[in-house]
């Protein structure tokens, strides 16, 4: 059997951030859903499962604080990654997650290709949907964080701002949470895992590496660029350790199952959702 070559796609810190956000987000989603549906049997069951309303609330707050700190650390990480010598390529270049003109081109190529026109876009390191997802989370975090802190300390916050901002904060918090849950558990799952080659679980984010062959199909521009710059040898890696693989398969399936449960139940009970 010939060995497959793998390319390192995500560094350790990327994967750590991902696992961290998976855990905290799942926590927020489950506890948050138990509040959102507290007037129905679903909410009551979830709440009971997690140890009652007060414990659930506590878990939600702890998860929120962890998430905010994770976000701040992530921002520090981003700042440390900016190369100040060549600011322009480090921010708008193909290795950055900042959307650029190429993404718009890729998007229009992709949409045209759905209707049988033209060829598939050649995607570089980050596809436009990955960028969209990243910035979606990036803008959701401060919104959820700020409104969440407002609802956490309503009395303290109201020593400076009038109370009607709490009405708005609660509305935004709920709406953004619903948006995030539906984006992640429908669209992010779809892009991540719902394709013939990867179907039940896409390992890339856990093992951090992708097969070179697969990558040539999916990210042709990136592979080309790496080859041209001669960096591809540096990124080659071995297959993931089987024990580690077992571990992350268990983790990944659990997370997927949890997400699917939440989204299906959420859609089923969506008529009870009240934004206010």
Beta-carbon-side half-sphere exposure of residue 19 (alpha carbons within 13 Å)? 17
Asked whether position 166 contacts ligand HEC by CB under 6 A, the answer is yes
Asked whether position 163 contacts ligand HEC by CB under 6 A, the answer is yes
The contacts of residue 204 (CB under 8 Å, 6+ apart) are: 9, 10, 198, 210
Give the start-end residues of each E strand in the chain.
Answer: 6-8, 209-211, 236-237
**C-alpha to C-alpha distance for 30 and 43, rounded to whole angstroms:** 10
Name which of 114 and 243 has its Cβ closer to other proteins. 114
Q: Name which position in 20, 138, 191, 251 contacts other proteins (CB under 8 A).
A: 191
Footprint of other proteins on residues 105-124 (CB under 8 A)?
A: 110-111, 113-117, 119
Asked whether position 270 contacts other proteins by CB under 8 A, the answer is no
Name which of 24 and 56 has its Cβ closer to ligand HEC. 56
**C-alpha to C-alpha distance for 193 and 236, rounded to whole angstroms:** 23
DSSP character for 238? P
Footprint of ligand HEC on residues 93-152 (CB under 6 A)?
A: 151
- DSSP class per residue in 197-212: TTTT---HHHH-EEEH
The contacts of residue 91 (CB under 8 Å, 6+ apart) are: 82, 98
Residue with tokens 């024990």: 243
218 touches 123 (CB < 8 A): yes
Cα angle value 199/19/21 (rounded, 5°): 105
Asked whether position 80 contacts other proteins by CB under 8 A, the answer is no
Q: Name which position in 88, 159, 242, 243 contacts other proteins (CB under 8 A).
A: 159
Name which of 107 and 221 has its Cβ closer to other proteins. 107
Asked whether position 154 contacts ligand HEC by CB under 6 A, the answer is yes
Name which of 23 and 151 has its Cβ closer to ligand HEC. 151
Name which of 80 and 159 has its Cβ closer to other proteins. 159
Asked whether position 40 contacts other proteins by CB under 8 A, the answer is no
Name which of 111 and 250 has its Cβ closer to other proteins. 111
Binding site for other proteins (CB under 8 A): 38-39, 84, 110-111, 113-117, 119, 129, 132, 136, 154-155, 158-164, 166-168, 170-172, 175-176, 178-179, 182-183, 186-187, 190-191, 194-196, 274-276
């Amino acid at each position: 059997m010939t060995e497959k070559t793998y390319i390192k796609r995500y560094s350790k810190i990327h994967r750590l951030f991902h696992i961290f956000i998976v855990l905290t987000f799942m926590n927020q989603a489950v506890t948050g859903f138990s509040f959102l549906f507290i007037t129905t049997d679903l909410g009551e069951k979830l709440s009971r499962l997690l140890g009652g309303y007060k414990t659930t609330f506590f878990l939600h707050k702890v998860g929120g604080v962890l998430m905010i700190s994770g976000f701040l650390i992530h921002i520090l990480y981003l700042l440390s990654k900016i190369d100040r010598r060549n600011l322009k390529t480090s921010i708008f270049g193909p290795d950055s997650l900042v959307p650029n003109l190429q993404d718009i081109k890729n998007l229009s190529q992709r949409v045209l290709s759905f209707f049988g026109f033209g060829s598939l876009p050649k995607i570089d390191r980050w596809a436009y949907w990955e960028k969209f997802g990243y910035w979606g989370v990036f803008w959701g975090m401060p919104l959820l964080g700020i409104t969440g802190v407002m609802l956490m300390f309503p009395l303290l916050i109201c020593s400076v701002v009038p109370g009607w901002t709490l009405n708005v904060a609660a509305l935004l918090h709920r709406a953004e949470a619903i948006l995030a849950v539906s984006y992640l558990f429908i669209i992010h799952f779809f892009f991540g895992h719902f394709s013939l080659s990867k179907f039940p679980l896409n390992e890339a984010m856990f093992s951090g590496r992708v097969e070179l062959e697969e990558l040539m199909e999916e990210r042709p521009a990136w592979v080309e660029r790496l080859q041209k710059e001669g960096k591809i040898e540096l990124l080659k890696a071995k297959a993931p350790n089987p024990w580690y693989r077992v571990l992350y398969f268990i983790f990944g399936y659990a997370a997927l199952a949890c997400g699917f449960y939440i989204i299906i139940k959420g859609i089923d009970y969506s008529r009870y959702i009240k934004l206010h």
